[in-house]
Amino acid sequence: MAMRLDKLLAHYGVGTRKEVKNYIRNGFVTVNGNIVKKDDFKVDYETDEIVFDGEKIVYKPYVYIMLHKPAGYVSATKDNVHPTVVDLIYGYEQYDLFPVGRLDLDTEGLLLLTNDGDFAHKLLAPSRHHSKLYYARIDGVMNENDVLKFKEGIIIDHYKCQSSYLSIIKTEGNNSEVFIEIFEGKFHQVKKMVESVGKKVTYLKRIKMKNLELDDSLQSGEFRELSENELFDLMNDL
């Protein structure tokens, strides 16, 4: 795809638009082995070899980041009280990243960040019914009656949730460990669903979104770009 050379380099993070223009005019940039001194020179970032001061530029208009979100970070780009999930991402300052959806302040696990608004919209659209899988620890004993209620559709805030799946991993004393799969994203939905059957979530972690699983090699607070296969699978049927 064709774009101006100065715009591409500025987006890549080489410098401000003004700085980039000076770099180009002073011969710091080559395109396909030839020095280019025109800042409005059109390049195709998919096919042209662009080199700045000896460094090959591999430009991507969009990035897709998997973050293992820790508790204590708000799913936003800015916040006056808490640190944000964007604060955890470094090396991508040239991209205006934002979280795809949200996890509560105290919820951990899989969170995507991107600068691709169309991708985020399609992934989050309620009409798409994309699944989200959570692991939860519960204060209270979840039972088969709860499994049935989840399947029938829990009512929270005068709203009947879509059918969801509750899988009981184990119960010990007055505590339970469960998997909960939902197909929408209402505010505090998982916590409210559990409260509706008389129990309380004490720990919540999202481990899967659609067909994308949290990379278990990522420690809390760590991140990486999605692989080509992960991105292809995630975008399939969006």
The rounded distance, in Å, linking the Cα atoms of 59 and 32 is 15
104 catalytically annotated: yes
The rounded distance, in Å, linking the Cα atoms of 187 and 65 is 23
Catalytic residue, from 79, 104, 215, 233: name it. Answer: 104
Cβ atoms < 10 Å from Cβ of 120: 18
Contact 233, 212 (CB under 8 A): yes
For residue 177, give the 3-state DSSP assignment.
strand
The rounded distance, in Å, linking the Cα atoms of 147 and 77 is 36
Longest dimension (CA), the chain: 73
Q: How far, rounded to the nearest angstrom, does the alpha carbon of residue 204 sit from its chain's CA centroid?
A: 17
The rounded distance, in Å, linking the Cα atoms of 206 and 136 is 9
The rounded distance, in Å, linking the Cα atoms of 69 and 71 is 7
Active site residues: 104
